[in-house]
Chains A and B, each alone.
Chain A
Amino acid sequence: MKPQSPAHADVQSYHWIVLPNTGVQICRGFPIARSVRDDAEKLFDAAHRQASRQPDPTEALRLIDEHIACNREIDATPWLQADPNEFVFHRLRRAGGELQLDLVIDTCNGAGSQAGNRVPLRVGEPSRFSLRRSEPLAEVYVEHHRNARNEIGTLIVDFGNTGSAFVFSRDGAGPLQARVVEANNPFDPDYRARDRSEAHVLRSNMIVLRVSPNEHETPWIVLGERAEELIRRHPLTSYLYAPKKYVRDWPDIQRAPEPTMKFRGIAGQRVGLHPMLTFVRTTLDQMFQRVLASLTNPQFTSDAPELYPQIRRVMLTYPLTWREVDRRLFADMVNDTALRLFAHDDEHREQFEVELICSEPVAVAAYVLWETIFQFESQNLMLAASSLGNVAGTPELRMLVLDIGGGSTDIACVDIGWTVEPADGSVDVSFRMIESMRFNRAGDRISHLIATVIVAFLESKHGIDEPLDFLHESREPAFTLTQKRLAVSTISRLAEECKRAIAGPARSWTLAPHDETELVACFAPLLDGDVWRERVGRGPELTIDEAALRTWLTRDTQTASPETNGEPGFQDVFVYLAELRRSLAEKGREPHCVILSGRTTRLGFLRELAAKSLKLPVHRVRTLGDILPRSAQRHGERNLDKLAVVFGAQRFRFGDHIRFQALPGEAIFNRFIGTVRESRTGLRLNQIMIRPGDGTPKTISVRIEPARDVRIGHAFREKGSAQVIANLSNRSHTEAFDIELDVLDDYSVRMPPHPQVVLTEWVPGGNDFVVDNFNDTGQIDQEPRGLLRHLTSDRYRD
């Protein structure tokens, strides 16, 4: 607490000291000036009166009133805005017989963004109110960054589709001293009800709360669970689920398919359509603001900055299969945001860098290795290695990381070796990627299957067959987009609950009557009166158990329907694993162990499926929580899936006596590569041009007929299941071409510019195709239409 001058404490208001560009800052329970405390009641009433006299509150004030993260159950006045042109807000509240203030300031826009500014906060018009009105109740002072307690360090970021995690590592701090940033949400009136452990991982979905037409003004964005709730209520607003999937570098020639969106907030909008990348940038910007806000003001109760993190380096993890251009794009985006938002001394500004530290699976592997070596200690690494499945006694480990996340499955087989320096017990660990793959099938596919079953249940029990596609005009006008949106998000919530229940000890989920009521109520305009309510309590109930879910997923392959167009199904992840194992076994390089990461791996049967595909015993297939005994775990089991990535990246660089190094991969192809064709049993290679063992890179020549496409793909076996890695498209309707392509490795294809032929790289399961996106579109079971219902037909016939 910093009274202006102790000698005049009775007549002076306290300062709330904030730093510019640290997001929307809140200070709950700020003390008011002693000089006016005696007039508390009058003051409280005056605030009420003043609020009621605001005939036309600004939209910003309305948003603060509805969304700001301050206790709504407390006895408080309405919010007041110091100046309609500034984003500074306050209200009075009574707590324990004491009068306090809740304060809010946007430090990225207006007065809050300029160091040296003072904003007095008053109640009542001086001319019309008889209190000692010349004195403010409090004053906001915007301080220079350099005057805060600066902590210099590195911010490690894992930007995920479902959640993002941040670790701040102070310079000179050891690996165990790095702290997870608990990101507070300033726009969440229900903040008290949220699970605190979730603060470690910031849910990445966002909705635009307020946007000004002025491009220089920073929008207000809501992230996390609150964003999900708002998306349900404001379907016409711009929002993003899984922002990371839109990180893609679009060469000019392919700009046309680049996705765009309107920029519309719950309040305000900007003209025109904006590339999705703009929203990814906005999300990143918002996340970094949160990080700064949370470090400077961890509980939203600090009356002065606790510290200012002078971030001289941002380290990023990235998905395994991002192309180099996508990685650079991402790093550049972060660099731009960081340089705009972070304040640095001149010296540190020059040194500032954004570093792509390692891929996410390597970070997971680094986490597992670091923790294991740390616990076992360097003199016992043979025991450590055998506990991870290398029973040969050699200082090596082949670890397969199977990361089944919300939207994609990453598979990476890493060859790890280590040497111990006997003099000081330090350990040098080297990583070399042997194999990697990504599938766009993961937890959302499971949700989608469950959603399909729920929709089928609604149809069979309640006769509801209305499509939920947001673009589809309903037969019944009263069934509005808002209701569709509500129905989709309710189905989505139930699907998530179903997954959680199946992952739990019950291994089964039943649609509870109250949930069924809530769900069917979304469709009320389509139904006759309230008769449906009687049906809820009676008739068939919907139960999904582990066995059923497993069966459906096992059927989900690229050959399940002639219309899958070669797109892999969920089961293809395991088909791939079986082929991978065979390929590795032939080289004597089978993985010793499998690390399951990603939330979806909480479904127990996935472990079994992985073990079976890889012909490994289940004890060699381990979740992150099983690597070490419980007593040796430090980050809390619940979020280990996410935190392992960010802590792994941190250990990768700041591992103390355990040093990591990524070695370049082998310069050979591990797959057959050639053109691809459809077959009754899925995609197969047609003409093989590259064989395993051939040196990388290799130039191949492909003939492409007029107005035709040719797909390039790879497979482990000559006649095995193939995956597409690139597509060539001949725009000429008259001329055929022989095209030379450089195949750089098993995944990357490059072509010199050609006037008529366009190459599109298909990042395997990568970021150019957004599938299973029913939250964004309302389209359930449309890829291809009816496939999921076909897979689950045994259930819906019930």
Chain B
Amino acid sequence: MIPQSTIDAINRVRDAFLTAVRTLPDVPSFATLRQSSPELGGEFQRLASIASRRHVAEPCTGRLTVAIVGSSGHGKTTILDEMFPALSARGWLETDVTDTTSQALALEYAPPGDPIAAAATVRSWSISQVKELMNHADVRDQNARDGIEVAYHDDLVAVDGTHATLDAKDLAAWRYPRRVELRPFAEPFEVPPERAADRKFIRALTVKEQSSVLDPAPVLQHAGHSYDALQLRAVVESVTLRDDFEQVLQWAGADADQARKLTFVDTPGLAVSSVAKDEVLRHYLGRKSHQLALDLLRDDRLDIVVHLVLCGQKSQFDTLWREIERACGRAEAEALAERIVLAINGMNVYLTNPDVRAKYTDRATMLREGDHFAATLEDNVLQRMSPRGNLRPARIAFLDSRRIVDAFADYAEFYSRHRRTMETWTEPGGPGHQTLARHGLVESFRENIDAIADPSDRGQGFLVRQVLGLAADKGATILARKHLVRTGLLQATGELHALLGRFYDSQGALNTDAVRAALSQCLGFLDATDPLAIDRFATREIDRFVDGLIPSEDETARDDWAAEAFLRLGEMVKEAIIEANGSRVPGAVWHEFSRFFDDRIESWTERWGYRAVDWPPPPDAAVGTRELLGHCLRLHARELLFQLMSAEDLGADSGAVIAQSEADRETIAELLRQLEDATATGVRTCAQAAVPTHAVPGNQGATR
């Protein structure tokens, strides 16, 4: 189970952030500051925009989404059909067709007898998602090549094949209009129970019928617009169904509570290509399945990925992986590996296919070609899942389908007959043992054998338990990473706290006036209108002394030599400012300036990276390190002066004196407290969940 404390902590951070973002615009002092400084306005807007991100806008419920990803023809729907027999009975899982449409099927838990279980929710893509796919280079080029014209409007995309240059026979077979408008739903469409049980409607939504039998008439009316099956195929992202998870809960045993919090998502098959049945939308729909899976992963809507591969077949996951890398970066793709459960479907193939059998029954074949697991698991799957190969999924499960096995034997009898053979694979020296051991699978495979031999489990239950096991192990990590880190929520919370800290003291009182006055007086010798003023001052007063701040090559320095040097630089800059001012600055003003300056130096030592520097100190410092540090110090001397001068400007653009009421001060103080607490909570939660965070402002204990 995912600890409730993790979920609560995530929501605490979220609440504090959202409260601050919603409250601040109405706090008079902040509103005035925001108006008077475009930089502050921009900064606040950037941070506030985090609030609309999917996993910030909605609270964390602890639910995890489990996506079943696999290529067409690998038995995905057959397995789901057996895992969710009630849905199958309702006709939503069509196993007798290979040409299914391109949307995700989401299966959520609903208690038995709950009326919601009979309904369904259809969600569509947004207009930007439709546009993105239609404008994908491949789709665009193919459409242009075939004379299919596309117009992109605010709320719809119109695809016009009136002048298409396709084969005349092909065009003659078209049943849908040549001009199709793709208009995404503004709101999800709730399918009433009677409609959700209508086989014709279900087939229109889930199956690509042969043109000879299809009905091109509209099948759905929504928000004043009608949609035929082709249009639905193009705009629908997912259909959400509810089920009592009867089988799944049985298999979950003690983890039934967690199992109820799972949403299973059947994603459309990988590596689908365009088909003539999609008529004018053939090129668009040829890529839709892929794009859909990519979108779900990119938006962090798939927490655990079950990659299902039919035994003996090759994984095509790498095509998706490449897209993820291209869209999100390699690090994102790599992070996916720890959330993947590999499901090898069709255990019976190991026992019946002569080629596979030869790999464990015939020693010569085994020596020549590797054992059966080396071929089916390593070569066909693990080395093909990522473009760089050798992916190590978090868990691996073997399973089978009763319907498939029953087609040629009695399931229980079949596995009872072959059980001993499978057991030999787990014995040292037995065929396949070496490969299982290499992947740390020997123990789990023993358990897997028990499950697969059990006709009521078939390894499907084992798979569910593997998913639940992964949820227990990694659930907190997945949630913390998804809600706090990848959304930018934690970082933004820290930054918002730091932003407020530039204008208010910890009691919520505006400190800008006093600080501004002090800065203005102490830095008055620098002409703010001259872009070279800082540079000239630093060149004259600082640069030549910088080398003296750095321990010499033969000196034995402390580990924090870089931070030490930066603090000394701060002292030097302060001295230089005193020098430049002579005795003109009154003591009280200097005191205020000094307080502000020291506070900033402390913070900058952290945030500018000096505290975290990990270079061996002299005399072990590598050649050039001292020069590099000197280079940084010279730059940061200028940066430091620039920051001070900017602070002097903050909120001063309007020239207005900002009044602050007691209520205003209290509100700000409370927000500061909440944000500070939230930042610390978030960092702690991430640390506990082993989720790396970067230096979150205002937090001293950042981890990687």
Find the B residue at minimum CB distance from A608.
Answer: B531
A587 and B42: CB pair below 8 A? yes
B128 and A667: CB pair below 8 A? yes
Q: Does A699 contact B (CB under 8 A)?
A: yes
Within the complex, which residue of A430, A585, A632, A698 is in contact with B627, where a contact is CB–CB below 8 Å? Answer: A632
Within the complex, which residue of A391, A629, A695 is in contact with B131, where a contact is CB–CB below 8 Å? Answer: A695
Within the complex, which residue of B328, B535, B697 is in contact with A619, where a contact is CB–CB below 8 Å? Answer: B535
Q: Flag B659-702 by CB within 8 Å of A: 1 or 0 each.
A: 00000000000000000000000000000000010110100000
Interface residues of B in 579-627 (CB under 8 A from A): 604, 606-610, 612-615, 624, 627
B639 and A619: CB pair below 8 A? yes
B42 and A590: CB pair below 8 A? yes
Known contacts A393-B694, A631-B624, A386 near B151 by CB under 8 Å: no
Within the complex, which residue of A382, A584, A617, A744 is in contact with B608, where a contact is CB–CB below 8 Å? Answer: A382
Contacts of A5 in B (CB 8 A): none
A384 and B330: CB pair below 8 A? no
Docked Cα-Cα span, A430 to B491, in Å, equals: 19
Interface residues of A in 710-755 (CB under 8 A from B): 740, 742, 744, 752
Interface residues of B in 149-165 (CB under 8 A from A): 149-154
Within the complex, which residue of B41, B325, B639, B692 is in contact with A586, where a contact is CB–CB below 8 Å? Answer: B41
Within the complex, which residue of A384, A586, A667, A698 is in contact with B609, where a contact is CB–CB below 8 Å? Answer: A384
A391 and B608: CB pair below 8 A? yes
B531 and A612: CB pair below 8 A? yes
Contacts of A659 in B (CB 8 A): 330
Contacts of B43 in A (CB 8 A): 588
A383 and B609: CB pair below 8 A? yes
Give chain B nearest CB distance to A214 CB in angstroms: 38
Q: Does B327 contact A (CB under 8 A)?
A: yes
Q: Does B27 contact A (CB under 8 A)?
A: no
The binding surface of chain B is classed by DSSP as helix
Docked Cα-Cα span, A277 to B583, in Å, equals: 70
Known contacts A428-B330, A590-B42, A383 near B624 by CB under 8 Å: no
Docked Cα-Cα span, A392 to B499, in Å, equals: 11
Q: Does A536 contact B (CB under 8 A)?
A: no
Within the complex, which residue of A391, A395, A421, A698 is in contact with B152, where a contact is CB–CB below 8 Å? Answer: A698
Contacts of B608 in A (CB 8 A): 382-383, 386, 391, 393
Contacts of B38 in A (CB 8 A): 582, 585-586
B152 and A428: CB pair below 8 A? no
Q: Does B45 contact A (CB under 8 A)?
A: yes
Docked Cα-Cα span, A139 to B154, in Å, equals: 74
Docked Cα-Cα span, A629 to B624, in Å, equals: 9
Give chain A nearest CB distance to B131 CB in angstroms: 6
Interface size on B, residues (CB 8 A): 63
Contacts of A587 in B (CB 8 A): 42, 45-46
B327 and A664: CB pair below 8 A? yes
Q: Does A335 contact B (CB under 8 A)?
A: no
Q: Does B544 contact A (CB under 8 A)?
A: no
Q: Does B51 contact A (CB under 8 A)?
A: no
Find the B residue at minimum CB distance from A422.
Answer: B704
Docked Cα-Cα span, A385 to B44, in Å, equals: 22
Docked Cα-Cα span, A113 to B128, in Å, equals: 56
A383 and B329: CB pair below 8 A? no
B607 and A392: CB pair below 8 A? yes
Q: Does B525 contact A (CB under 8 A)?
A: no
B532 and A618: CB pair below 8 A? yes
Contacts of B538 in A (CB 8 A): 619
Give chain A nearest CB distance to B613 CB in angstroms: 5
Docked Cα-Cα span, A612 to B532, in Å, equals: 10
Interface residues of A in 116-168 (CB under 8 A from B): none
A619 and B615: CB pair below 8 A? no
Stretch at the interface among A73-81, A372-380, A480-488: A372-380
Known contacts A428-B331, A588-B43, A695-B128, A386 near B152 by CB under 8 Å: no
Q: Does B127 contact A (CB under 8 A)?
A: yes
Q: Flag B237-269 by CB within 8 Å of A: 1 or 0 each.
A: 000000000000000000000000000000000
Interface residues of A in 673-715 (CB under 8 A from B): 694-699
A611 and B329: CB pair below 8 A? no
Q: Does A387 contact B (CB under 8 A)?
A: yes
Q: Does B534 contact A (CB under 8 A)?
A: yes
Q: Does B326 contact A (CB under 8 A)?
A: yes
Q: Does A260 contact B (CB under 8 A)?
A: no
Give chain A nearest CB distance to B637 CB in angstroms: 9
Contacts of B41 in A (CB 8 A): 586
Contacts of A589 in B (CB 8 A): 42, 46
Known contacts A384-B609, A697-B152, A631 near B627 by CB under 8 Å: yes
Known contacts A383-B608, A428-B330, A619-B642, A629 near B695 by CB under 8 Å: no
Q: Flag A417-455 by CB within 8 Å of B: 1 or 0 each.
A: 101111000001010000000000000000000000000
Stretch at the interface among B416-424, B569-577, B628-636: B628-636
Contacts of B153 in A (CB 8 A): 698-699
Contacts of A389 in B (CB 8 A): 639
Contacts of A430 in B (CB 8 A): 329, 331
A588 and B42: CB pair below 8 A? yes
15 contacts between A and B (CB under 8 A): A380-B613, A382-B608, A382-B694, A383-B609, A383-B632, A386-B608, A393-B606, A393-B694, A430-B329, A585-B42, A588-B43, A617-B534, A632-B627, A663-B329, A697-B152
Task: Please give the residue numbers on chain B whose beta carbons come within 8 Å of chain A beta carbons, in ascending order.
Answer: 38-39, 41-47, 127-128, 131-132, 135, 149-154, 325-331, 334, 491, 495, 531-532, 534-535, 538, 562, 604, 606-610, 612-615, 624, 627-628, 630-632, 635-636, 638-639, 642-643, 692, 694-695, 697, 704
Extra contacts, 15 of them, besides A379-B612, A590-B39 (Cβ < 8 A), are: A377-B614, A377-B615, A380-B615, A387-B631, A387-B636, A419-B329, A586-B45, A587-B42, A588-B42, A588-B47, A619-B639, A619-B642, A629-B631, A696-B131, A699-B150
Considering the complex of A and B, which 10 residue pairs feature the smallest CB-CB distances, nearest first? A588-B46, A382-B609, A383-B609, A393-B607, A386-B608, A393-B695, A695-B128, A619-B638, A699-B151, A629-B631
